[in-house]
Amino acid sequence: MIEAMALGCPVISFARGAASEIVVHRKTGFLVQNVNEMVRFIPRIDEIDREVVRQYVERNFSVRVMSEKYVKIYSQVIKTAKCVPDRPYSNGALGKSGKPQPKTSVIKKAGPAQVAAAAKAEKEVNARS
């Protein structure tokens, strides 16, 4: 769907799943509830400006925009994480000693460096947005 819209092709889709997050009804395509509605909107497809559709995808779903959104989300997760896994099974399930390891040895607190790196990445993404 996004690929077609990136080429300026308006879409007619059932208003289910992610379609309602992608298609702006009557601006980039039509969201319908049933086949009869779909048939009714087919003759109206030319009402949609193809350049508007293409620009909408570029502004909201391009590789650059999606990458920035992912970085922003990951940065927020890292920044708000209370702790991170410390490779609990790097020496096998029982550790070097051959004995079960206490749960506290599996977790370490996120250090200032991780928090600072996440804050810097988030700041860079926000500056580009």
List the structure tokens of 105: 């040895």
Per-residue pLDDT of the chain (129 residues; tens, 9 = 90+): 999 999 999 999 999 999 999 999 999 999 999 999 999 999 999 999 999 999 999 999 998 989 998 998 888 888 777 555 555 555 555 556 656 555 544 445 566 776 677 677 777 766 765
**Quick one: 69 and 124 in the same domain?**
yes
Q: Do 106 and 73 share a structural domain? A: yes
CA-atom Rg of the chain in angstroms: 23
| Tally of structural domains, the chain | 2
pLDDT at 31: 98
Residues 23 and 74 in one domain: no
Among candidate residues 61, 91, 108, the one where a domain is terminated: 61
C-alpha dihedral over 74, 78, 83, 84, to 10 degrees?
Answer: 50
Same domain, 84 and 96: yes
